[in-house]
Amino acid sequence: MPSTPTPGAPAVTVRAPAQQLSALLGAVERWPVLLDHVVYALRTPDGETERVEVWTRDGERITHWWGEHRTAPDGLRTDFRHSPAPGSPATVTGHWVLTPEEGDGGTGLALRLDRDSAGAPLAGAGPAGAGADAAAPPSPEAPPTAGAAEVAEVFRLHAEADPGLVFTFQDTLRTTAPAEPVLDFLRRVRDWPGAVSHIATVSVTETAPGVQSVVSGVRAPDGSVQDVPSVRLVLADRVVYTPLTVPPFASAHLGEWIVGTAPDGATTVTGRHTVALRADRLAAAFGPGTTPADAQRRVRAALGAHSLATLDAARADAESRTAPAPAPVPAPAPVSAAVPAPVPASASAPVSGGHR
């Protein structure tokens, strides 16, 4: 059955150029710190189309979406199509439309979500989520509790904010261990207490294959311990996590532990972190006059120290389990007293002159 469009939400006016807004919409990998219901996202260019994978969250339910985005050459329209499993009939389709406005250089932003191919309403479809099916998984573009206008409003706020409020940093270590034991340590988060210096306790529930609900007791410099709940995804070459509570100066944090191979063949392990800061909380957290750049440095130092401690623990654990066994020391040869060889009798006879 062909898809049926739902009523479109009115456009939201954004005080930003259309190309800047188009780039923000296209940066799917940043959606986890922009949209509350998105846990993780990947994109891969494929000619004029981008292949995307998006993991969304609705309570404890995680839905893995496969799809594609196709953006017009002028960047003013992006059509998307997502399915919660390859070949699934429950397909989400829709588009973003950007309309440059004359005068102030602003842009109109509108999101339309269509009904799926089975004719059922999508979660978040229509204005203010009208007609949404509470049992439907949240689509990559909209959670079940919000409609198209609310999601467009989120992108408006981020497009108009200081670009320094969202930033990414990473650290990489090399190891002599192969990739698999490094990944194994990153997956075994329940074993981190005692191995990762700032992790005091961990409780883990695997809510689905490859999906972990974790509560970590994180030790502060003063020795106090704070419980931090998070959702973790165990993927082929990485483990990603998003804390469900963040410090007051931030609105979101995405962490990635990625295992790869350096050009010379050595195994690498990278901690990559994307943080969204709150402009209205920086002064309270870091002092009057704190700029986004100042806050970035402070967060980079503190979070980077924890990240490096985790990377170092992964390296040490993997190397300890893959180090070659020491070569056996050969036993010493038995030592015996030397016995002089017997002397022949002829050799002991006196030598005398002979006669012919």
Give Cα separations from 106 to 26, 55, 111, 316 (angstroms). Answer: 18, 31, 17, 52
Question: What pLDDT score does 59 carry?
Answer: 85
Question: What pLDDT score does 104 carry?
Answer: 76
**Lowest mean per-residue pLDDT among 198-202, 329-333, 343-347:** 343-347
DSSP state of 180: H
Report the run of H or E that residue 302 belongs to, with start and end. helix 292-322
The amino acid that residue 194 corresponds to is G
Question: What pLDDT score does 112 carry?
Answer: 87
- The pLDDT-based confidence of 254 (bands split at 50, 70, 90) is very high
The per-residue pLDDT for range 96-135, each reduced to its tens digit, is 999 998 877 789 999 888 755 444 444 443 332 333 333 4
The DSSP code sequence of 145-176 is T--HHHHHHHHHHHHHS-GGGEEEEEEEEEES
Say if CB 165 and CB 294 are below 8 A apart. Answer: no
Helix, coil or strand: residue 98: strand
Work out the mean pLDDT of the chain and round it to a whole number.
84
- The pLDDT-based confidence of 60 (bands split at 50, 70, 90) is confident
Give Cα separations from 91 to 46, 67, 178 (angstroms). Answer: 20, 9, 40
Query: CA 230 to CA 338: how far, in whole Å?
Result: 75
The per-residue pLDDT for range 153-211, each reduced to its tens digit, is 889 999 999 999 999 999 999 999 999 999 999 999 999 999 999 999 999 999 999 99
Mean pLDDT to the nearest integer, 263-284: 97
**More confident call, 5 vs 224:** 224
Question: What pLDDT score does 354 carry?
Answer: 40
Residue 53: φ, ψ to 5° = -125, 130
Say if CB 322 and CB 265 are below 8 A apart. Answer: no
The per-residue pLDDT for range 7-59, each reduced to its tens digit, is 455 678 999 999 999 999 999 999 999 999 999 999 998 888 999 999 999 88
Question: What pLDDT score does 89 carry?
Answer: 65
**More confident call, 85 vs 77:** 77
Q: Is the pLDDT of residue 308 over 70?
A: yes
Question: What pLDDT score does 84 carry?
Answer: 83
The amino acid that residue 218 corresponds to is V
Give Cα separations from 267 to 6, 32, 255, 327 (angstroms). Answer: 49, 27, 20, 25
**More confident call, 126 vs 312:** 312
Question: What pLDDT score does 347 carry?
Answer: 39
Give Cα separations from 67 to 25, 164, 191 (angstroms). Answer: 15, 30, 35
Query: CA 79 to CA 163: how far, in whole Å?
Result: 25
Say if CB 124 and CB 134 are below 8 A apart. Answer: no
Q: Name the residue among 73, 74, 77, 35 with its Cα closest to residue 56.
A: 35
Most confident of 66-75, 112-121, 278-287: 278-287
- The pLDDT-based confidence of 83 (bands split at 50, 70, 90) is confident
**More confident call, 290 vs 142:** 290
